[in-house]
Chain A
Amino acid sequence: MSAATEAERVQISRRSWLDVLHEWVVTVDHKRLGIMYVVAGIAFLVVAGLEASLMRLQLALADNTVVSPEVFNRLFTMHGTTMVFLVGIPIVFGFGNYLVPLMIGARDLAFPRLNAFGFWVFLFGGLLLYLSYLAGDGLYGTGSAPAVGWFAYAPLTSRAFSPGNSTDFWNLAVLVTGFGTIATSVNLCATIVCLRGPGMHLGRMPMFVWTMFVVSALTLMILPPLSAAQAMLLLDRFLGAHFFDTQAGGSAVAWQHFFWFFGHPEVYVLILPGFGFVSEIIPVFSRKVLFGYPMLVAATVAIGFVGMSTWAHHMFAVGLGTALTSAFAASTMLVAIPTGVKIFNWLGTMYGGKIRFATPMLFCAAFLFQFLCAGLTGVMLGVAPFDWQLTDSYFVVAHFHFVLIGGLLFTIFAAVYYWFPKATGRMLSERLGRLHFWLFVIGFNLTFVTMHFLGVQGMPRRIYTYPADRGWETLNFITSLGVPLQILGVAVFALNLIWSLRRGRVAGDDPWDAWTLEWATTSPPPACNFDRLPVTTSRRPLWDLKHPGDPDGPHE
């Protein structure tokens, strides 16, 4: 076995880069596609982060002129679109790609070629979006990116207010990545339902697989409505249809309903896998079984369902009327319950454990506090009258960055540190990991805690500048101060990835002494995933192997 790997290594080193590239481009292996998803996602994360940094530079001082209003508006549009569609979704689905078959004991996804299609369509969509910087104005000018915001409210997106082709780039790029995501969701659903290994019945699936299952099923229901709305926008812009044309009786509010019917559950599509990461990592580093597994599964499914009925809380200020406002306030607050249950279950897991604060656990620990904060500000935003003040202000910006950065991105970092050894066979450096963690946690909180106060002081989002007499300058400056720390943190992270890939400590099959099936195979796993697969006898098959005297099964 080891001799074969050695021979393989020698062979690898002799192949030209073109061969390697060819191998990766034509691959249908879920592990390689998963890695490509995550790497592409991190690359787009860097781009979106630089866009955000430019915006913070502009806003650091009142009446600043680092960028023009047009450039600023493009920056926040590209930043938002990139973060949601080209960073969040591909990284989440990339981990799903890599881990789901390994965790359920399968050889690959149900439809490997469809999987490759999904990835390349996503990448094409991402490049298409950025092509707009060169070609956005069509024949009208030198070219520019879309400037309609990531939720592209009608009628700002109509030909009258968005001439040129920049908005079409946004529309088509997101539409195309959407097709890829739908394909991958179908794929993951089929994989989880059909390809579970022996003994892996639904009640024994790792929490991460459960979250990917719920997320994939949810995506099938919420993403097509966005595609439909975007098809309508295409018809409006190219064939002169009137879906969102307010001059012809079309409705500007209809777009908002269609968009947020996707847009809100989309937040759960992103954050639920984050919960999945945490539910895998906290038990291993607390040395305790996940507390209340059935309840966590139920909470995941509940969030998926309730999450589909809360979308209009993004629209409290459009004048929904008292009945609808109250109904959506109620459903929004209801989501807090299963979410709270999850936090309590993680605490229950840590309580009484022996917690090892390796880098993955550090990120999970910060996640717990930050996500608690995000959840509570979410409840505040669900209180409709309070939301009339807070919506579209910097408070909302702070809230959703606490969800998607303080929540999701922290869990993604945790997941990268946790599964990097499995994917590459080498450990990431703990020393650099700690540096990355502290830089990022301080930078993040400096930036985004401060933003809450700006919102409360009346600063609306998406403004390229603000007058000096508003009294917002100090807080804006502090907000911007957090940015260099975060940039540094990500730079350390990138350095760690590159350095450890070559020089990192050799990991072995199971460096964290973990319990799920992916740790039962080699690191990196062979193309077929498992030479020998343990029969799943409980939720922690490797615990059962390591503790034959005290298996999990009887306790479940």
Chain B
Amino acid sequence: MMPAALGLALVAATGAAGQAERVVTPSIFDPVATPAHDIRELAYLVLGICGVIFALVGGLAAYSMIRFRQRPGDEREPPQVYGSNQIELAWTVVPLLIVVVLFLATARYIYGLEGRAPAPGDLQVTIIGNQWWWEIRYPELGIVTANELHVPVSDPARPSPVFLTLQSVDVIHSFWLPQLAGKMDVIPGKTNRMWIDPQRPGLYVGQCAEYCGTQHAGMLLRVVVHSRDEFARWVSEQRAPARDDPATQAGRALFTSLACINCHTVRGTPANGVFGPDLTHLMSRSTIGAGVARNTPDTLRAWVNDPGSIKPGALMPAMRVSHQELEQLTAYLVTLR
């Protein structure tokens, strides 16, 4: 028990230091990557046009309602005007012209955003939607992680976009990071692609945007944009095999003897399940349950004991282990840094 407790304290301390991160409201008007930035540009144009139309038409309506309300005692019928071809032609043609302008602008942005193809050397990431979490794979780097996407910052002068391949293993999800790009649906049997080039290091949040079942709301997403050096360090940490701390042998043995390994992978152990998140570097992630709780030994223990207590409806079953086994399992998991 002693070494386990020590491990817990250690992790808690480092976790507190490493997780001094601030979540900002993911507004689409606060973009940090080219796709979201371009969309904001187009949005300003559209909002401007629509604002002017609203002011004009709404103003005309308000004017008519005030100016032409019935005065007390005035019972005569007003002059009847049946229509006017010129006026009606005018208010058909003018909107038509506006629509043409809007469409040309729209088409330009559609082709600009969707037309981009990956160049050799661009980072490729595969995002796989699951009920209710995201698997994140870096096929060229041999990294598998979950729910938290790490990418290097892109220099606007020499952009280095990250290309995302979106797939689903069960139902339709939608990948949405409002500050980086618009949504792209994650559809079983269909592979979608998108790209981002975040230009400011930091933490950006998003979440699943297509209703996908009970815990649709609990399918959150985080993107950590690193400087190039930090990203290289993160990659080397992720590529390292799982830690095998002799102090937590009991927990490791328990982990590999239980049903855990049917769904989870810890590289270098018999655990090679694929239904749940890869746990090789579990503690490098700042949240668990696809973002519904902070990743601390306490929440981890509660999660292993009964995921439904933190995320009702989560597909991982309650493990129904004894108190001591729970401590051992948690002690083992928190070493997976």
Interface residues of A (CB under 8 A from B): 68-70, 73, 147, 149, 153, 155-156, 160-161, 246, 249-253, 286-289, 291-295, 317-319, 321-322, 325-326, 329-330, 333-334, 336-337, 340-341, 343-345, 347-348, 350-357, 365, 368-369, 372-373, 376-377, 379-380, 382-393, 456-458, 460-467, 469-472, 547, 550, 552, 555-556
Q: A326 to B68, Cβ gap below 8 A? A: no
Contact A386 B43 (CB under 8 A): yes
| Inter-chain contacts of B80 with A (CB < 8 A) | 288-289, 550, 552, 555
B25 partner residues in chain A, CB cutoff 8 A: 457-458, 470-472
Q: Tell me if A347 and B60 are in contact (CB < 8 A).
A: yes
| Docked pose: A393 CA to B26 CA in angstroms | 12
Bound Cα distance A376, B213 (Å) = 32
Other than the given A69-B218, A380-B47, A380-B50, 7 more pairs (CB < 8 A) read A288-B78, A376-B53, A385-B106, A389-B39, A456-B28, A458-B179, A472-B25
Q: Is the CB of A392 within 8 A of B74?
A: no
Inter-subunit contact A369/B68 (CB<8 Å): no
Interface check B96, CB cutoff 8 A: yes
Chain B residue numbers with a CB within 8 Å of A68 are 312
Q: Which of A347, A350, A385, A552 contacts B109, CB < 8 Å?
A: A385
On chain B, the residues within 8 Å of A357 by CB distance are: 69
A365 to B193, CA, bound (A): 46
Q: With A69-B312, A155-B171, A383-B42 known to touch, is A388 a contact of B181 (CB < 8 Å)?
A: yes
Quick one: which of B27, B107, B220 contacts A329, CB cutoff 8 A? B107
Whether A356 pairs with B70 at a CB distance below 8 angstroms is yes
- B183 at the binding interface (Cβ < 8 Å): yes
Contact status of A319 and B214, CB under 8 A, knowing A355-B65, A470-B205, A471-B25: no
Q: Which residue of B lies closest to A329 (CB)?
A: B106
Q: Nearest residue in B to A325 (C-beta to C-beta)?
A: B110
User: Which A residues are in CB contact (< 8 Å) with B88?
Assistant: 292, 295, 341, 344-345
Q: Which residues from chain B contact A456 at a C-beta distance below 8 Å? A: 27-29
Bound state CA distance, A463 and B106, in angstroms?
30
- Residue B229 at the chain A interface, CB threshold 8 Å: no
Check B254 for interface membership: any CB of A closer than 8 A.
no
In the bound assembly, the distance between CA atoms of A465 and B293 in angstroms comes to: 13
Residues from chain A with Cβ under 8 Å of B172 in the complex: 153, 155-156, 252
Q: Does B246 make an interface contact (CB < 8 A)?
A: no
Q: Which residues of B contact A461 (CB under 8 A)?
A: 209, 211
Chain B residues with Cβ under 8 A from A385's Cβ?
Answer: 38-39, 42, 106, 109-110, 113, 182
Look across to chain A and name the residue whose beta carbon is closest to the beta carbon of B29.
A456
Q: In the bound complex, do residue B183 and residue A253 qualify as a contact, i.e. CB atoms below 8 Å apart? A: no
| Choice from A252, A333, A393, A457 contacting B188 with Cβ under 8 Å | A252
CB proximity to A under 8 Å, residues B163-201: 170-172, 174, 176, 178-179, 181-185, 187-190, 192-193
B residues contacting the other copy or chain, number (CB 8 A): 92
Chain A nearest CB from B232 CB (Å) reads: 29
16 interchain pairs (CB within 8 A)? A69-B313, A70-B214, A155-B188, A156-B172, A160-B170, A252-B190, A287-B70, A291-B81, A329-B107, A348-B81, A350-B61, A377-B50, A380-B50, A391-B183, A456-B28, A458-B28
CB of B99 within 8 A of chain A?
A: yes
* Chain A residues in 8 Å Cβ range of B188: 155, 246, 252
Known: A385-B38, A389-B39. A351 touches B68 (CB 8 A): yes
* Measured CA separation A388–B313 after assembly (Å): 29
Assuming the A-B contacts A379-B50, A385-B110, are A392 and B210 also in contact, with contact meaning beta carbons closer than 8 angstroms in the complex? yes
Known contacts A288-B78, A385-B182, A458-B206; A251/B189 CB under 8 A = yes
A291–B83 Cα distance when bound, in Å, is 5
Interchain nearest-CB distance for B40 vs A (Å): 9
Which B residues have a C-beta under 8 Å from some C-beta of A? 23-29, 36, 38-39, 42-43, 46-47, 50, 53-54, 57-58, 60-61, 64-65, 68-71, 74, 77-84, 87-88, 91-92, 95-96, 99, 102-103, 105-107, 109-111, 113-115, 131, 170-172, 174, 176, 178-179, 181-185, 187-190, 192-193, 205-218, 220, 291-292, 312-313
Smallest CB-CB separation from B99: which chain A residue? A333
Given A69-B217, A291-B81, decide whether A393 and B50 contact each other with a Cβ distance below 8 A. Answer: no
Most buried by A among B36, B81, B212: B81
Q: Are B92 and A388 in contact (CB under 8 A)?
A: no
Q: What residues of A have a CB within 8 angstroms of the CB of B189 in the complex?
A: 246, 249-252
B192 touches A319 (CB 8 A): yes
Closest 5 CB pairs between A and B? A388-B182, A458-B26, A463-B217, A471-B25, A292-B83
Q: Which residues of B contact A293 (CB under 8 A)?
A: 82-83
Most buried by B among A70, A343, A355: A355
Check if A319 sits within 8 Å of B28, measured CB to CB: no
Say yes or no: B211 contacts A462, CB within 8 Å. Answer: yes
Per the bound structure, the CA–CA distance linking A396 and B109 in Å amounts to 21
Q: Given the complex, which residues of B lie within 8 Å of A552, measured CB to CB?
A: 80, 82
Are A458 and B27 CB-contacts (below 8 A) given A384-B106, A391-B183? yes
- Residues of B near A387 (CB, < 8 A) are 182
Is the Cβ of B64 less than 8 Å from the Cβ of A347? yes
Residues of A within 8 Å of B39, CB to CB, are 385-386, 388-389
Shortest beta-carbon distance from A371 to chain B in Å: 11
Contact A322 B110 (CB under 8 A): yes
State whether A329 touches B103 (Cβ < 8 A): yes
